[in-house]
Amino acid sequence: MFDYMLTKEQIKLRDEVRDFIKWVPRQLVLDMDKDIIKFPKDFLREAGRRNLMGCRYPKKWGGRDMDWVSTGMVMEEVGTIGYELACVFGVGSELVCDAIIHHGTDEQKEKYVKPLLRGDIFAAECLTEPRGGSDFFGATSKAEDMGDYFLLNGQKRFIVGGEGADYFLVYAKTNFEPDAKPQDSITAFIVDRISGVETKYLYNLMGCRGGGTARLVFHDVKVPKENILGRLNGAYAVFNTMMIPERLGTAIMTLGSARVALEIATHYTTRRKAFGVTINNFQGVSFQVAEAAMLLDAARAMGYATCRAVDAGVSMDRTRRMISESKKFITESCQKIVHNAMQVTGGIGYTNVFPLERIYRDVRLATIWTGTSEVMAMIVAHEWYREYLKARATKLTRDFETDAEEAFVEDEKIYE
């Protein structure tokens, strides 16, 4: 952690989170990895009891009136105990509650945010469908207006907390006009686990186990009208703000897991001997550790710079680019860090004598969920070109292209 960037209040919160992480029973981590525990309610109850969730929300709703840098710091620290524990910590309190805080009514905040942050109830986010997750606006789950309520039908896939959550944030199509734009056709709903909501299938995952990741089926679920989040057909706005915690939070928590892997590997390489010397004396080993340390610092710097951008209220377009860059760079860097950590521990790193193999399996998810690396690159490219062309059109900066001897030989500047 960059301690020098934190205020006294943030350092106090960090130490509270570290104390919480020390509290987490070892057996919980092991049992989740074996899927013996399906969803870690006791972990979330304790986080709630300690008031660690949603620190950036107003105190009135159970938060601490802090900022995104504080949230990033909390997510990094929670990530140290395991990527899946950070997933369940984040999905309810940092994603679903963020959407309700930004778009919900006071009644919704009272009913769904406050008890969740206390650790009394649990939530899941239902965006991905079996037909695809990257194309959010292709949602086929639908909710029909029946007068007093909406009738929800459809399926959502890979939902963390599909087993365990008490309520769900569900995106469903509500505008069936043939020429309606996809951005104006979807509504976000808060759906309680009531009749018609079925946890149909629990996935056998490579890693990130024990978080109740499931396929959910919604069959003729009667959703009261007051459970619309934001506007009817207004899910685009909810989606836009939600992508901040969805991508920035999940990126930063990867740093915690990668940090642990690097620390384990560093310790190991100062003790393990080969050819009569400890292996950190070999550049082949220490340079891999150095590369991992460098990537960790670079990724963290990017993550916290992006948190600052969100706190500063930088424009949505710029923030979207920075968040997408952070998601891709941090998660890919963390995978490389864990790869190096396993490499320098040799064969034993590949066994469950050290937790490196679990961390390796867990963080593999990081470049896939909450928007794949490919989708992040697509957004970065889109926003970068738009930003650059807009800036160029203002002609406020020097035209660097003319700083070449033959810059004005126009016949040689062929573009088509």
Ligand X SMILES: Cc1cc2nc3c(=O)[nH]c(=O)nc-3n(C[C@H](O)[C@H](O)[C@H](O)COP(=O)(O)OP(=O)(O)OC[C@H]3O[C@@H](n4cnc5c(N)ncnc54)[C@H](O)[C@@H]3O)c2cc1C
Which DSSP helix (H) or strand (E) runs through 232? none
* 293 touching ligand X, by CB under 6 A: no
Which of 86, 160 has the CB closer to ligand X?
Answer: 160
Q: Which of 91, 264, 285, 330 binds ligand X (CB under 6 A)?
A: 91
* 261 touching ligand X, by CB under 6 A: no
Q: Closest separation between CB of residue 292 and ligand X, Å?
A: 24
Q: Which of 127, 139, 260, 344 binds ligand X (CB under 6 A)?
A: 127
Q: Closest separation between CB of residue 16 and ligand X, Å?
A: 26
* 158 touching ligand X, by CB under 6 A: yes
Which of 289, 375 has the CB closer to ligand X?
Answer: 375
* 369 touching ligand X, by CB under 6 A: yes
Q: Which of 7, 134, 140, 351 binds ligand X (CB under 6 A)?
A: 134
* 71 touching ligand X, by CB under 6 A: no
Q: Closest separation between CB of residue 161 and ligand X, Å?
A: 7
* 213 touching ligand X, by CB under 6 A: yes
Helix, strand, coil percentages in the chain from 3-state DSSP, rounded to 5:
55, 15, 30
Residue carrying structure tokens 């301690």: 3
Which of 40, 371 has the CB closer to ligand X?
Answer: 371
CB 210 within 8 A of CB 37: yes
Strand 167-173 and strand 123-126: pairing?
parallel
Q: Which residues pair with 129 in a beta bridge?
A: 132
Which of 69, 124 has the CB closer to ligand X?
Answer: 124
193: left (phi over 0), alpha (psi -120 to 50) or beta: beta
10 Å CB burial of residue 122 (0-12, 13-18, 19+) is buried
Residue carrying structure tokens 């986010």: 125
Which of 204, 402 has the CB closer to ligand X?
Answer: 204
Buried b (16+ CB within 10 A) or exposed e, 267-290: ebbeeeeeeeeebbeeeebbebbe
First to last CA, the chain: 50
Which residues are near ligand X by CB under 6 A? 91, 125-128, 132-134, 158-160, 205, 208, 213, 365, 368-372, 374-375, 378
